[in-house]
Amino acid sequence: MILHISNLSKTYPNGVQALKSVTLTIPNGMYGLLGPNGAGKSTLMRILATLQEPDSGTVRLGDTDVLNEKDAVRRTLGYLPQEFGVYPKARAEELLDYFAVLKGITGRQARKEVVGALLRQTNLWEVRRQKLGGFSGGMRQRFGVAVALLGNPKLLIVDEPTAGLDPAERVRFLNLLSELGEQSVVILSTHIVEDVSELCTRMAIINRGQILLEAEPLAAVASLKGRIWRRLIEKRTLPQLEREHRVISTKLLAGRTLVHVYSPEAPGAGFERVEPDLEDVYFSTMAGYYGGTRQEGGAS
């Protein structure tokens, strides 16, 4: 199953152009959509989930026209939005059973088997009779995945799924998504670079409604080899350094500022070359320096 997105655009009544001719081809597996808050990620996810209409463009999931055959898409869609409500007094097993009925699984025995299998798959079997109000953030997210997986979806969309999770819950949740990516198209929309670097075989970086980069994460990192340099400076000298070099990111470190600079050659005394990572790809792209040329739509 392949998801084809072609020239998708969306402008809101207030004049904000959320998507500008977005074109992507997304195969089976984990696909990362990376960008800052307000970049257009959630708008794209809602359109793919048949919850919002674009102004123009086409979307096809295999042979299905996503924009004009919404009922067919919904039968094979799993969607975990950034925020979703649960009934705090409901027990996990009972609520999942209820959602299974809504998904069209009406046979009692079939439903029991599906609900049990999903609770085990999401590591919630032992707490199936607990009320959702007592679940941790990670447990609620995993319950959301269980709901999204009803009906064996061929397209699974998860929007900012690890925000607010503690490190242990995040690892458990990402491992679960990785397993699901073996069977379906799984789109992971996030602003957390580590989520994409650890999971996704392909990715796109979006900002201000435009796709700035579409690549394999490992290949994108490799293309920056020899071009990322760092230097530890006093914070007060940062403005001068930004005027002289292509600064892509800064980080406070023990009271000083660690600067990463994009440059094909050594930028001068005091800099050391570093092995790039996906964070460097992200910041280089956002600054418009990825590939060595300033990109239209990149941040200034």
Q: pLDDT (tens digit, 9 = 90+) per residue, 101-157? A: 988 888 989 999 999 999 998 889 999 999 989 988 888 888 888 888 888 888 999
- How much is the pLDDT for 298? 36
CB 115 within 8 A of CB 105: no
Around Cβ 249, how many Cβ atoms within 10 Å? 18
- Ramachandran angles phi, psi of 271, nearest 5°: -95, 145
Which pLDDT score is estimated for 87?
A: 83
Give 223-234 as a 3 state SS string.
CCCCCEEEEEEC
* φ/ψ bin of 124: left (φ > 0), alpha (ψ from -120 to 50), beta (otherwise): alpha
Q: Can you tell me whether residue 276 is helix, strand or coil?
A: coil
Q: In which band, very low, low, confident or very high, does the pLDDT at 33 lie, cut at 50, 70 and 90? A: very high
Give all domains of the chain, ordered by start, each with its CATH number.
3-215 (3.40.50.300), 221-292 (no CATH)
Whole-prediction pTM value? 0.84
Tens of pLDDT, residues 104-115: 888 989 999 999
Mean pLDDT of 268-293: 87
Angstrom distance (rounded) from CA 29 to CA 4: 14
| Residue 295 pLDDT exceeds 70 | no
pLDDT digits (tens, 9 = 90+) for 180-234: 777 789 999 888 898 888 789 899 999 999 999 999 999 999 999 999 999 999 9
Average pLDDT for the chain: 88
Report the pLDDT averaged over residues 11-30: 94
pLDDT in the model for residue 170 = 80
**Residue 175, CB-side half-sphere exposure with 13 Å CA sphere:** 10
Distances 40 to 25, 74, 218 between C-alpha atoms, Å: 17, 22, 24
Once rounded to an integer, what is the mean pLDDT over residues 83-89? 77
204: β partners: 33, 214
Does 299 score more than 80 pLDDT? no
CA dist., res. 155 & res. 28, Å (int): 9
HEC string for 57-78: EEEEECCEECCCCHHHHHHCEE
State the pLDDT at residue 161.
76
Residue-level pLDDT at 291: 54
- 16-20: long-range contacts, CB 8 A cutoff, minimum separation 24: 17/208, 17/209, 18/43, 18/209, 19/43, 19/44, 19/47, 19/54, 19/209, 20/208, 20/209, 20/210
State residue 297's pLDDT score. Answer: 38
Reported for 287-294, long-range contacts at CB under 8 A and 24+ positions apart, including other chains, are 287/246, 287/247, 287/248, 287/262, 289/246, 289/248, 289/262, 290/212, 290/213, 290/220, 290/224, 291/223, 292/227, 292/264
Give DSSP secondary structure letters for 174-227: HHHHHHHTTTSEEEEEES-HHHHHHH-SEEEEEETTEEEEEE-HHHHHHTTTT-
pLDDT, greater one: 47 or 290: 47
What DSSP string describes 103-151?
TT---HHHHHHHHHHHHHHTT-GGGTTSBGGG--HHHHHHHHHHHHTTT
